[in-house]
Amino acid sequence: MTNSRIQHVIPGALILAIALLVTYLSFTEEPAEAFLFPRIISVAFVGLAIWNFIRAAGGMAKVGRGVALQDAKNLLPGLIVMLILVFWAAKALGFYVSATIAFFTVYSIYDPAPHSSAKDWIKRAVITAVFMAVIYSLFALLLKVQTPRGMFI
């Protein structure tokens, strides 16, 4: 099996598994009246998921190139920052502090400017501060959105 085919088979199998679970729950959960509409959807869902899986396993799935290894390597640091921000830092540290750290980290990781230059670090810090000041003005002052404060703000 080629790498491309394996890449298509894995999501195809996952979607099929979800479709089968949805179908099973739709036809077994009570009260049945609450699951009438999901039942109709699940029949179409599982039918299309089977078709999609057969195409993927048979090497007929041509649309979509999958995730290239280099792309995955590139996006991993940013993805980790996102996950930490949303699942821990935003609540634990406070929205504004965690968002500032996340912005600065993402900007620094992906900025092509050299990491050895003090001038570039100052530039990143200034841009982060200006951007977060705009965000604070918009959400805290203008829209008055109450965000989790955590340890800081």
Partner 1 sequence: MEFLGYFGGVFEPIALMLLFAGTVGGLILGATPGLSPTMAVALLIPFTFHLSPTQGLILLGAAYTSTVAGGAVSAILLKIPGAPANIATALDGNEMAKRGEGARALHLSFLASGVGGVIGVLLLIFLTPVLAQWALKFGPSHLFWIAILGVTVIGSLDSKSFVKGLLSGCIGLWLSTIGTDDIMGADRFIFVDALSGGITIIPALIGLFAIPQVLDMFAKGRVSAVIDTVHVPRYKFLDSLKELIRSFRALSIGTVIGSIIGLIPGVGGQIAGLVAYDQARNFSPQKDKFGTGHSEGVIAAESANNAMVGPSLVPLLTLSIPGSPTAAVLLGGLLIHGIFPGSDIFDKHPEVVWTFINSMLLGQILMVIFGIYTAAWAARIAKAPIPILAAGVLVLALFGSYSVGQSMGDVQIMLVLGIGMYILEKFGFSAAPLVLGLILGPIAGDYFNNGSMIAAAQDGPWVYFFTGPLNIVLIVMVVASIAYSFWTNMLRASFAKSPLEGASK
Residue numbers 6-45 binding partner 1 by CB under 8 A: 7-8, 11-12, 15, 19, 22, 25, 29-31, 33-38, 40-42, 44-45
Nearer to partner 1, 86 or 122 (CB): 86
At closest approach, how far in Å is the CB of 121 from partner 1? 14
* Cβ atoms of 69 and 3 closer than 8 Å: no
3-state helix, strand, coil in the chain (%, to 5): 75, 0, 25
* Cβ atoms of 147 and 95 closer than 8 Å: yes
Residues 6+ apart with CB under 8 A from 72: none
At closest approach, how far in Å is the CB of 33 from partner 1? 5
Q: How far apart are CA 36 and CA 18, in angstroms?
A: 18
Q: What is the secondary structure of 89-114 as a DSSP string?
A: IHHHT-HHHHHHHHHHHHHHHH--S-
Amino acid, res. 91? K
Residue 82 binding partner 1, by CB under 8 A: yes
- Contacting partner 1 (CB under 8 A), which of 6, 71, 122, 129? 71
At closest approach, how far in Å is the CB of 9 from partner 1? 10
**Total interface residues for partner 1 by CB under 8 A:** 74
At closest approach, how far in Å is the CB of 25 from partner 1? 7
* Cβ atoms of 19 and 46 closer than 8 Å: yes
Rule CB under 8 A: which of 120-149 touch partner 1?
Answer: 127-128, 131-132, 135, 138-139, 143-148
